[in-house]
Structure 1
Amino acid sequence: MEEVFGSFWRDVLGDSDDEDDEDESYVRIRRPSRDDARAVPVSAPGSDELSDITRKSFRGVVAASEAREGTTGGTEVDVLYRRRDGTAASARVRAEDGHDGFLGKVLKSWTAAMADETPEEVEMKARERAKVRAEETEARRRKRRGASALAATSERVTKSELKRSASSDIMSAEQMETLREALPAMCRMREWTLTYSTKRDGISLKSLYRRSSGKENTVLVVSDSGGAIFGAFCTEAWKLHSRYVGTGESFVFSLAPEGMKYAWSGENDYFMLGAADSLSVGGGSAHAIRLEEDLLQGSSGECETFDSPPLASSDMFRVSRIELWSLD
């Protein structure tokens, strides 16, 4: 498998004013064997399959092979793009065939750029672009709307604070104190009560719902097998719901490997959902936190509700421990 990123057109054609072009996705292609490559047909200028290649759908271009015997010569390339239905695709064309419109401009610029570069230079630039992209992605994540760092406290936690926080098998007293400071003002001075714990109460989603009955304003904390600690503050009792519930005071957070809070983005109101087979916080293209019925595995992805990145060690994770705290 080879990852071919779609930033090439920005390098050779300049930035676009169209906001829809800010797509950082890429297309994965399989480099065919030499025999397979000979069997891939070359699309002629104006062919139907090339009509889907536009500035918005274009993702990249990569050299395919030198001209085959019996052909008119020239350099064959694979143009990578997204079809109208969103699926990844590639089309083989000959760079010197004089294609019209956007594709012709791409191939002309690509040919001119490649003529003055060695393969080593091309590979080095690709690595540099990947590094820049990774740095930009990380910078964007840190500037997410509603995201803020949970301030680490080096101050001694007082006995009264420890009493409010009790003792957690997942969080340190300092982590609990910094999390308490991130709560809405009306909840900061409330006593923390351990309503449910997989260590104490066993592994059962039904037990979690039963023990949290009537408990509004709760803090869900999860640790996974990769060492991540994350969770959510929710403003409704956890129970079976027919639809999403909650308020804009809800937020998700991570405590390890770093402390971050992600407040409501305003994109949707998918705050929390209790179902018979799962427990979910946030929604959209992915949940911020989803725990399966067995409470042994879950998932976490880019979530529109809180404009949050994946909180766990991996998109699909194995649960280590779960605690649900009520603020009474």
Structure 2
Amino acid sequence: MKKNVFLLEYSRRKTAFFKCTSVFLQMVLMEESRDKPLLVVDRDPEGLSNIVENSQILEASHVRELCKELPPRTVGYTWQLAYSTSRHGASLKSLYRKLSGTDSPVIIVIKDALDEIFGAFLSHPLRPSEMFYGTGETFLFMLHPRFKCFKWTGENSFFIKGDLDCFAIGGGSGHFGLWVDENLYLGRSSPCYTFNNCCLSETDDFRVMELEVWKFS
């Protein structure tokens, strides 16, 4: 009889202990959750519809993918079309003039004759330069037929180079990640040490059908 009473008392106290422990753990978890940031749901970038309406190349999905890779300092700024070959003609000098008054980072987007879409994010606007310039924020990307981003490897600092007869993004061992001529018509893409990228276009040499440059304002 005494043994049964002991077991019943033990069972009652054990149950009470676990109830108290459960309540305590719930209180701790609720307290911790107050200090943790809520998950941020991905939202469309500011002015997405205007970007797509003003672009001859970009679709909404392209912009969303790119926004995930852009550096934090571009967040909250509006994309503004600074130059496009369909609106302003195919001239590198004209492109330099359009960007001469800005210090904003820029995005170069190219659509080639095979309908492939690719380009580069530049930490600084494109301009004539004696040497390579820019920072490790610069990167190359592919948008269509697949999305892929190529960030700085740290191997060298050959980010941006502007000449009067061409511009180049990324380099090493005589190869440029992206190179376009003064008429913004003929281009070339090769693997380079700066970004460890593959060829952005289907073939090393490509023809530019449309080129756009976007800045942030």
TM-score of the two chains, using structure 1 as the length reference: 0.51
Aligned residue in 1 for 2:120: 232
Deviation at 1:236, TM superposition (A): 1.4
Matched, 1:220 2:112: no
Q: Distance in 1 between matches of 2:111 and 2:75?
A: 23
Aligned residue in 2 for 1:14: none
- The aligned amino acid for 2:62 is Q
Report if the CA contact (8 A) 1:251-1:262 is conserved: yes
RMSD between aligned residues: 1.8
Change over 3 Å in CA distance of 1:301–1:226 after alignment to 2 = same
Summarize deviations over 1:45-82 as a string: whole Å, max 9, x none.
xxxxxxxxxxxxxxxxxxxxxxxxxxxxxxxxxxxxxx
Q: Distance in 2 between matches of 1:267 and 1:159?
A: 34
Query: Does the residue aligned with 2:86 lie in a helix, a strand or coil?
Result: helix
Query: Does the residue aligned with 1:177 lie in a helix, a strand or coil?
Result: helix
Summarize deviations over 1:187-230 as a string: whole Å, max 9, x none.
13211010000000011100000001133200000111112111
Summarize deviations over 1:243-286 as a string: whole Å, max 9, x none.
00000111110001110111000010000001011011001131
Aligned residue in 2 for 1:267: 155
Matched, 1:196 2:89: no
Q: Distance in 2 between matches of 1:239 and 1:175?
A: 26
Match of 1:323 among 202, 212, 216: 212
1:166-205 map, 5 Å: 167-205=54-92
Moved beyond 6 Å, runs of 4+: none
Q: Distance in 2 between matches of 1:275 and 1:242?
A: 8
Query: Does the residue aligned with 1:290 lie in a helix, a strand or coil?
Result: strand
The structure with the larger Rg is 2
Aligned residue in 1 for 2:190: 301
Matched, 1:210 2:97: yes
Deviation at 1:241, TM superposition (A): 0.3
Q: Which has the higher contact order (CA 8 A, sep 6+)?
A: 2
Deviation at 1:322, TM superposition (A): 0.2
Aligned residue in 2 for 1:251: 139
Report if the CA contact (8 A) 2:190-2:198 is conserved: yes
Report if the CA contact (8 A) 1:251-1:263 is conserved: yes
Aligned residue in 1 for 2:38: none
Summarize deviations over 1:129-187 as a string: whole Å, max 9, x none.
xxxxxxxxxxxxxxxxxxxxxxxxxx884774334666311110221122122101121
- The aligned amino acid for 1:275 is D
Equivalent pairs counted in the alignment come to 174
Change over 3 Å in CA distance of 1:165–1:217 after alignment to 2 = farther
Change over 3 Å in CA distance of 1:183–1:296 after alignment to 2 = same
Q: Distance in 2 between matches of 1:181 and 1:287?
A: 25
Report if the CA contact (8 A) 1:165-1:193 is conserved: no
Q: Which runs of 5+ in 2 are unaligned?
A: 1-41
Q: Distance in 2 between matches of 1:184 and 1:156?
A: 16
TM-score of the two chains, using structure 2 as the length reference: 0.75
Query: Does the residue aligned with 1:295 lie in a helix, a strand or coil?
Result: coil
